[in-house]
Structure 1
Amino acid sequence: MEKRLDHIGVAVRLIEESITFYTEVLGGTLIDRYRNEAEGVESEIAVMDVHGSRTELLMPTNNTTSPIARFIKQKGKGVHHVAYEVENLDDAIEEVHAQGIRTLEWSRRTNKHGRRLIYLNPADTDGTIIEYCDYPDKQEG
């Protein structure tokens, strides 16, 4: 199945400072900003577009339970995940499972923009959190 880079997720401590860097230094544009307080997400997200490339800035909103907070505590701020768009998320999950790659089922969800996503287990990806995602509404239209 074909995959293409969708976005990079970056864990940040202070989202305002990060937005300023992405707009003033990199010349990017803030596309969207929202909070997701769902269990296993608990973060504020700023979607940045830098000349056609997307970056999601991820700031934890709960320093006890947010996976972003845990990531920052363990590894520091910086690249959290790399997301690849796939044609069909369900088919892509079956494909990686057949290859012996596990997924983090707790991470499977649909975001506010209709993007379905899941993280691959970093134990099976040389330590990198890889997100697979699709956009079912985009495919139908």
Structure 2
Amino acid sequence: MYHVFDHMGIAVRSIDEALPFYINVLNGVLEDRYTSEAPGVEVHVAVVRTADNLIELLEPTNKNSPIARFIKQKGKGVHHIAYRVDDLDKAIEDAKEKGVRFLEDTLRTNARGRKLIYMNPASTEGTLVELCSYPEN
């Protein structure tokens, strides 16, 4: 099974303040912007494509959202990296067989149809890693 780099999630206090850097300096293009108020998510998202990467800017919608807690604990910056797989259920099963633990409550389909789950950072040497698949997969 392949694991292809899909995107990087970056926690920001304000998407409006962060966007100029990604658009004007990195020559990115704003591809999408949406809000997810799902419990345990609660985030504004701006999707920016640079020449060869996809970046999700993540702004908390309230002080109790996971992104707000992340910023409070670690500050702004890289929140997670995501890898696209062809079959998310199989990828989870394969990883579990290798001893990887998951944050089971993060398994969901986002507002744009991407199915995803986060690995427990204890299994990834401290990095929050998302596995995801898309409806066309």
What band does the TM-score fall into relative to the shorter chain?
over 0.9
Following TM superposition, by how much is the alpha carbon of 1:27 offset from its aligned partner in structure 2, in angstroms?
Answer: 0.6
CA-CA distance at 1:124 after TM superposition: 1.0
How far the C-alpha of 1:111 sits from its partner, in A, is 1.2
Alignment of 1:126-141 (within 5 A): 126-135=125-134, 137-139=135-137
How is 1:108-119 mapped onto 2 (pairs within 5 angstroms)? 108-119=107-118
- Which residue identity does 2:6 align to in structure 1? D
Match of 1:53 in 2: 53
Query: 2: CA distance between counterparts of 1:127 and 1:39?
Result: 24
1:28 matches 2:58: no
Cα deviations across residues 23-68 of structure 1 (Å, max 9, x unaligned)? 111110100000101111000000000113100000000112x111
Is structure 2 residue 84 aligned with structure 1 residue 90? no
Q: Hey, what's the Cα distance between the residues in 2 that align with 1:48 and 1:84?
A: 17
- 1:11 matched to which residue of 2? 11
Partner of 1:74: 73
Deviations 1:60-88 (A, max 9, x none): 00112x11111111111000000000110
Q: TM-score, normalised by structure 2?
A: 0.97
Describe the superposition over 1:119-140 as per-residue Cα deviations: whole angstroms up to 9, x where unpaired.
00001100000000001x213x
* Separation in 1, partners of 2:82, 2:19: 20
Relative to the length of structure 1, the TM-score reads 0.94
SS in 1 for 2:136: helix
SS in 2 for 1:74: helix
Root mean square deviation, CA, Å: 0.8
Measured in 2, the distance between the counterparts of 1:134 and 1:38 equals 19
CA distance in 2, matches of 1:35, 1:114: 14
The separation in 2 between residues aligned to 1:106 and 1:33, in whole angstroms, is: 24
Q: Return the alpha-carbon distance in structure 1 between the equivalents of residues 69 and 98 of structure 2.
A: 28
The SS at the match of 1:138 is coil
Measure the CA separation in 2 of the matches of 1:117 and 1:130: 10
Structure 2, gaps ≥5 residues long: none
